[in-house]
Structure 1
C-alpha cells in the first residue's frame, strides 16, 4: 500500500530568481516570509531536502544550506531520522503577528455590501446549539436510527444504487420519490405521483424554492406571527421583505380573517397547520376551510410545512391541507427531524402544473441532491423501518415530554414561567414573565451549560413575547431533570436581578401554568 507523505507542499514559495545568485539565501528568505504570513505554521513538516530540490530544480545542497540557516535562526527544528519542521516556539510570536495583521485588516476593510451584513446576521442566528439539553432533535440512544441504517448504507453504497455515479435526476432518486408517495398517502392522506415529488436538503430548501417559484416581484405573502425564522429570514433576504404580511396566530392557528383584512390579494400563505411553529397548536377545521376557500377565490397558493406532525401524543394525526386541495397546496416534509438532522433530506410535493418549475429552481440551486443517502433512505422506508422507528421514538418523546413538564411545574412558579398548551412535536414553549429578556436568558443559560432558543425573535417587531424553546428529544430523563434545575436557577436569577425588556402582549398564551392532563 502506498505511503501517505507526511510533509506538506510549499506552493507559496514562488520562483527563485536564478540570475540573482545566492539561491540558498533566496530560498531561506522565501521560507521566512511564508512562516510570517502563516502559510506555514509551527509544527508543520517541510518537504525533504531531496523532494524540495527536485521541485525547485536546484541542487540538493542549496536546500540543505537554506534549512541549516533557518535552523540556526530558530525558524526550523530538526531531529535525526525525523522531518524538518517549523519550530513550535514560533507559535506564540506567530499568534501575536496574526492578531496585529487582523487588527490592521479590520481597520482598513471597506464597508461590506448590505446583503453581506444581512446574511452574516442569518449565520449568527442559525448557529447550531451544542448537543446538550434542551437542543431540539439530538438523536442518541433510543431516538437514533437502529443499526439497520448502517447495514443498509454499507450495502447500497458498495455496489448498489448508491455507488458513485454520474449526474442524477434533478427531482431526486425515483425509488425514494416512490417511497415518499406511499408514506405521504398512509400518514397524511396526501395523494400524488412520483413526478410531483422534488427531493430537497430539508424544509428550509423547500421554503426557499417555494418563495422563488410562487412569488412575483410585486406579490404579497402571508406568514404566521410568530413563525419559523427560516421563512421570515428567507423572504427578508431575497428582496421580498416588504411583501411579507405577518398574520397573527391564536389558539386555532393562523387568523384567516385578519390575513384577508391585511392583504386580501396575497399570492401565497406559508403555514404550519398540523403543528404550528413555534407554539404547537394544530389549525382548527374552520380555519382550514377558510384558508383553502381564500386560496381558491384569489387564485393563491398555500405552502404547508408539515412540521413535527409525526409526533402527536393524543389522538390521531390530522389530515393535511393538501388532501383537501391538492391543486392549491404545496406540501413540505423532512426526514431530518424524524431520523437525524445531518441526513439533510426532505421533499416538496407540488401540484402537477408546478412540478417542472420547482424542478428548474432546484437545478439552479445545486443540480440534484446527493445520491447515496437517497437510496439508503428509500430502502429504509420500503422495508418498513421508518414507520417502526417513528413508533419507537414517539413513545420515548411522550415520556420525555411528560417528565419535562412535571419538572418545570415543580421548579418554577406559574407567575414566572409556564408551558404553552400542545400535544405534539419535539419541543415545548416555556413562556417567561413578560418583563424578562428571553435573549439574555438564553445567553445566561448557555453559560450554565443549557441550550435553549428565544421565542421573541420569531414574532414581528413590536409583537414579541419572551419565551424559550425547549427540545426534549435525545436526552435521558436524568439529563433533562438536571438541566431543568439549572435553567430554573437561571430564570430565577434573571427575575431577581430585575432584567427588563420592551415587548407587546400576545393573546394566545394565558398567564398561568398549563398542567398535564390525562397523564400526558
Structure 2
C-alpha cells in the first residue's frame, strides 16, 4: 500500500546565500541535499512554486527553474493536478513499506543518559500499552461503549456550546463537571464534598502524582501496599522517595495497619486501594478501615484513597468510601477511564478544604488546566443520567464475562499449575502461577501467542513477589476470551513441562533416583 504523501517541510532551504550567485542553482542543490539526507523522501509533495517563492522571498521563476532542473534529473516528478513530488523511483525497494522514521536519531547508549532519564526510560518500557487483544484491561466494546450518546452530546456542545474553543480556564476544571462529580460521588460512594473541593485530572495517575507533590516533603515516609499498583511505586521511585517508601503487607482484610505502624509510625501519608485492592481485589475490612483512619488522625497523616473499580461489584452494593468517614484526612481519587474509556483521560481528586489551593497550584505547574471540550460533554453525560445507566449496563455485561472466563480457565488449567484469586468485583482477574514460575517469561510467550497479560510479581516489593498474571475481561467477546484462554493455557503448559524436563535432566546428571 502506497504511503500517503505529505507536504515536505524543508527548513534547510532558509540558508541560501543571495550574494553567492544563481539562486536557482543554489535552490536546486539544497533540494538535492535534502533528498539525499532523507529530510524529504520519495513521494513527499513539495510546496507549490508560488508558496515556496513567497516563503523564501524570491521570484517565482527562480523556483520554477530549480524544479524543472530537478525534474529533468529525475529527482522530482510532476503530474498534472498532483503537484511536484520527490520521485517515487528513488525509494529503495526494501524500505518502501517501512514507516517514516522519527525526526532525529534515537540514542541507544544507556550509559550516556542522566540518571533520571534512565529511570524514566525504564518506566516508559514498563507502561507501554498492551495491544487491544485478550486479556488487556479496559478495552471498550460495542455492548458497553457509549459511542452514539457521546457523539450526539459532543456535536451539541463542542461547536458553539460550552465546549467550544476558549481561552485559559479554571485549573480545578469546568464547574458543571465538578458539580456533576460531587453529586455522583455523594450518592454512589458516600463521599462528603462540595464542587470547590473537586479537581478534574487526566486520570488517576495524575491524581497520584499531584498527591505526592503536595503531601510529601523530601524526607517524609509513605505507606504503600504490598503488592501495589505500579503507577504509585514508580512515582515514588522516580521522585526521590524510593528509600522513604514503606511497603506494608496486604492480607485478606486489606492493608495490615499494625504492620504499617511497626514499620513507619510517623509516615506522612498512606496510599491505599480500600474498595478493591489492586491487583488482588479484596476490599479493606471495616476493622482495618477504622484502624487506618485512627492512625491518620493521631499522626496528622493523610490517606490517599484510590477508589479503583469501586463501581464494578457484582454481589451486593459497592463499599462506601473511606473519605466519607474522614473527609478532613482523606484525599479521594476517582476516574472515568475504566468505566467509560481510557482515551477520555478524565479523572478527579477530591481534597480537604485546606489542601485545595495547594493541589490547584501543583496542577497549574503540571499542565495549567484540563482540556475543556470533553469536560462539558462528560458533565452533560452525567447530568442527563447516562452515566448511571451506563454503569448498570457495564456491570451486567462484565459479570457475565467474568463468570465465563472463570469457568473456562478452571476447566483448562490444573490447580497445581495455576489458580484464581477469589473476588467479586473489578474488571480483571489475578491468575496465580505455581511457585518458581517466571511470570515475566509467561507474559513474553503469551504475547507471541497473541495474548496480552501483565505480570504480578513486579507489583511486589523486591524479595516478596509471587508469580501471577493480571487478566482483563471487560472488552472482549466470549469467543475471543475462550480462544485466548486456550492459547494462554498452552503457554503455561509449555512452561510447566519445560520445568519438568529440566528437573529430570538435573536429577539424571546427579544420579538421583527420585521420581
Q: TM-score, normalised by structure 1?
A: 0.90
Which residues of 2 match residues 217-228 of structure 1 at below 5 A?
217-228=218-229
Cα gap change, 1:380/1:441 in structure 2, threshold over 3 Å: closer, same or farther? same
Flag the 1:412–1:39 CA change in 2: closer, same or farther, 3 A: same
Correspondence for 1:288: 289
Residues 149-164 of structure 1 aligned to structure 2 (within 5 Å): 149-164=150-165
The one-character-per-residue Cα deviations of 1:289-321 (angstroms, maximum 9, x if unpaired) are 111111111111110100001000112211111
| Range 46-55 or range 482-491, more displaced | 46-55
Per the TM alignment, residue 109 of structure 1 is displaced from its structure 2 partner at its CA by 9.3
| More deviation, 177-186/262-271 | 177-186
Asked whether the 8 Å contact 2:46–2:84 carries over to 1, the reply is yes
Q: Distance in 1 between matches of 2:458 and 2:254?
A: 19
CA distance in 1, matches of 2:245, 2:501: 29
Displacement, 1:105? 7.6
Q: Which moved more, 1:216-225 or 1:109-118?
A: 109-118
Is 2:277–2:308's contact at 8 Å kept on the other side of the alignment?
A: yes
CA deviation string 1:147-203 (max 9, x = no partner):
222111111112221122222111111111111111111111111111111111111
1:337 is matched with which residue?
338
Q: Does the C-alpha gap of structure 1 residues 102 and 435 become closer, same or farther in structure 2, counting only changes over 3 Å? A: farther
Aligned-partner SS, 1:303 = strand
Matched-pair contact (CA < 8 Å) for 2:429–2:471: yes
Moved more, 360-369 or 61-70: 61-70
Q: In the TM superposition, what is the alpha-carbon distance from 1:28 to its structure 2 partner?
A: 1.8
1:359 deviates by: 1.2
8 Å CA contact 2:8, 2:40 repeated in 1? no
| Count of residues in correspondence between the two structures | 496
Segments of 5+ residues of structure 2 without an aligned counterpart are 503-515
Q: Report the Cα offset of residue 336 of structure 1.
A: 1.0
1:280–1:499 distance in 2 versus 1, CA, 3 Å: farther
Match of 1:148 in 2: 149
The residue that corresponds to 1:491 in the other structure is: 492
Q: Name 2:66's counterpart in structure 1.
A: 66
Q: Secondary structure at the match of 2:332?
A: strand
1:426 positional shift: 0.4
Shifted more, 200-209 versus 152-161: the winner is 152-161
SS at 2:112 equivalent: coil
Aligned to 2:329: 328
| 1:26-175 mapped onto 2 (5 Å cutoff) | 26-92=26-92, 111-145=112-146, 147-175=148-176
Distance 2:106 2:376 in 1: 47
Name the structure 1 match of 2:184.
183
Give the Cα–Cα distance (whole angstroms) in 2 for the partners of residues 393 and 289 of structure 1. Answer: 31
Structure 1 residues 32 and 108: alpha-carbon distance in aligned structure 2, compared to 1, 3 A threshold: farther
Decide whether the 8 Å contact of 2:6 with 2:44 is kept in 1: no
Question: 1:440 Cα shift?
Answer: 1.3
CA contact (8 A) 1:333 1:346 kept: yes
* Counterpart Cα distance in 2 of 1:380 and 1:360: 29
Separation in 2, partners of 1:375, 1:468: 37
| CA drift at 1:69 | 3.5
Q: Deviations over 1:311-358 (max 9, x none)?
A: 001122111111111111111101111111111111111111111111
Q: Gaps spanning 5+ residues in structure 1: where?
A: 502-520
Answer whether contact 2:225 2:272 (CA < 8 A) is retained.
Answer: yes
Counterpart of 1:513?
A: none
- Are 2:369 and 1:368 aligned? yes
Residue 261 of structure 1 aligns with which residue?
262
Structure 2 CA distance for partners of 1:60 and 1:194, relative to 1, 3 Å? closer
3-state SS of the aligned residue for 1:287? Answer: helix
Aligned to 1:355: 356
TM-score (norm 2): 0.91
Name the stretch that deviates more: 60-69 or 201-210: 60-69
Q: CA deviation at 1:90?
A: 2.7
Deviation by residue 1:243-276 (Cα, 9 ceiling, x = unmatched):
1000111111111111111111101000000000
Secondary structure at the residue paired with 2:333? Answer: strand
- Whether the 8 Å CA contact 1:142–1:474 is kept in 2: the answer is no
Q: Structure 1 412/115 Cα, relative in aligned 2: closer, same or farther at 3 Å?
A: same
Distance change in 2, residues 1:310/1:104 (3 Å): closer
1:75-104 Cα deviation digits (max 9, x unpaired): 2223355422112233328969x9999999
Q: Judging changes above 3 Å, is the alpha-carbon distance between structure 1 residues 81 and 207 closer, same or farther for their aligned structure 2 residues?
A: closer
Q: Kindly indicate whether the alpha-carbon contact (under 8 Å) linking 2:14 and 2:56 is maintained by their aligned counterparts in 1.
A: no
Counterpart CA distance in 1 for 2:435 and 2:74 is 61
- Pick which of 18-27 and 329-338 moved more: 18-27
Query: Which has the higher mean CA deviation after the structures are superposed, 27-36 or 86-95?
Result: 86-95
| Alignment RMSD (CA, Å) | 2.6
Q: Which whole-Å CA distance do the structure 1 matches of 2:393 and 2:307 have between them?
A: 20
Number of the residue aligned with 2:19? 19
Q: Which residue of 2 aligns with 1:515?
A: none
Deviates more, 1:390-399 or 1:10-19: 10-19
CA contact (8 A) 1:308 1:425 kept: yes
Give yes or no for the alignment of 1:232 onto 2:229.
no
Shift of the 177–488 alpha-carbon distance from structure 1 to 2, 3 Å rule, reads: same
CA change 1:303–1:412 in 2 (3 A) is same
- 1:478 aligns with 479
Superposed CA deviations along residues 222-247 of structure 1, whole A, max 9, x for unmatched, are 00010001100011111111110001
1:43 is displaced (CA, Å) by: 0.5
